Amino acid sequence: MNASTDGMRVDGAAITAGTISAGELFEQQRERLELRWIAGAEGASRRLESVDTVARRPSLAGYLNAIYPNKVQILGTEELSWLDGLDSRQRWETIHKIVHFAPLALVISKDQSCPEDLRIAAEETGTPLWSSPKRGHELLNHLQYHLARTLAPRVTLHGVFMEIYSIGVLITGEPGSGKSELALELVTRGHRLVADDAPEFTQIAPDVLDGTCPELLQDLLEVRGLGVLNIRDMFGDTAVKRNKYLRLVVHLTRPMSEPAPGGLERLTGDSGSRRVLDLDVPTITIPVMAGRNLAVLTEAAARVHILRAKGVDPAAAFMARHSHFLERAS
């Protein structure tokens, strides 16, 4: 996937918009879809920005549509038969309209022969024209999924992203709060590292944030005093994970700068939420003090979050039990 040069910063996080060119899409999908470039090689630099998907009715990839054109137009058997059924003037006007909308690419499915007038129009206008042996629905599903992920908004956050008890947990905190040391201890306890220092999160669905590691930092964890460690080499392939959905943020804080917790906070814990792109991610704050086992506390935070997701709230259950006890006593 290609990172955009267009971005902004919110709460110290770098938010970027996705972008991809026709040449990049072709290279990324050439082997998977067995693509061949027929005509319009000059259009390799055509770019598709994420903002383009909301300029008109958004449709990244789809079958040939001359009214609401898709960004990638797929020409299957029915579409080519429809073109063949038009008279010469209508056919010329339709092909001219297709290339006039400047799609990112045209793709002919099932290795069908390319109409000569379409090839000439693509060559003259620099419209990338590809062919694939895959069926139309396979091209549609794969290209739609790939483009949606590539153009989805993404943000880079500071922290260590891990898989703990099968859920994605982002460990955040001030510099020197012990994030990397905590991550190293969690790895030794059987959990898995996704990314250190600068995990990237992409909103691939309205309620899903997918976290990955930049290629430069893959498998690496920096620990003060030890330097950069390669977790894969030290602990094996099972100690790292390529990506994970973000479900919880654990924030480490120094207690001396925080007020003493009140009575309700002693029951419910210091929990809240953090806005990441368009989602509110549950957050649990853990004070860092000498002698506290942060690894155990982080594991417990993950378990509590899993229970709450299932509708089990120990604090609420205790308060209900306490109210029932007072009613009986009165």
Residue 11, Ramachandran bin (φ over 0: left; ψ between -120 and 50: alpha; else beta): left
Please confirm, yes or no, whether 137 is among the known catalytic residues: no
Supply the DSSP symbol for 216.
G
Please confirm, yes or no, whether 158 is among the known catalytic residues: yes
Residue 177, number of CB atoms within 10 A of its CB: 18
Please confirm, yes or no, whether 251 is among the known catalytic residues: no
Separation CA 138–CA 144 (nearest Å)? 10
Give how far the C-alpha of residue 278 lies from the chain's centroid of Cα atoms, to the nearest Å: 12
Query: Taking a C-beta distance cutoff of 8 angstroms, is the pair 323, 182 a contact?
Result: no
SS3 297: helix
Length of the chain: 330
- Residue of 196, 197, 210, 219 marked catalytic: 197
Residue 262, number of CB atoms within 10 A of its CB: 8
Supply the DSSP symbol for 42.
G
CA neighbor of 129 nearest in space, from 146, 112, 154, 144: 112
Separation CA 170–CA 197 (nearest Å)? 10
Supply the DSSP symbol for 109.
S
Supply the DSSP symbol for 114.
P
Separation CA 291–CA 105 (nearest Å)? 60
- Residue of 179, 191, 251, 305 marked catalytic: 179
- Residue of 158, 232, 274, 308 marked catalytic: 158
Please confirm, yes or no, whether 292 is among the known catalytic residues: no
- Max Cα-Cα span within the chain: 92
Contacts of 239 (CB under 8 A, 6+ apart): 187, 192, 193, 231, 232
- Residue of 266, 275, 303, 322 marked catalytic: 266
Residue 129, Ramachandran bin (φ over 0: left; ψ between -120 and 50: alpha; else beta): beta
User: Catalytic amino acids?
Assistant: 158, 179, 197, 266
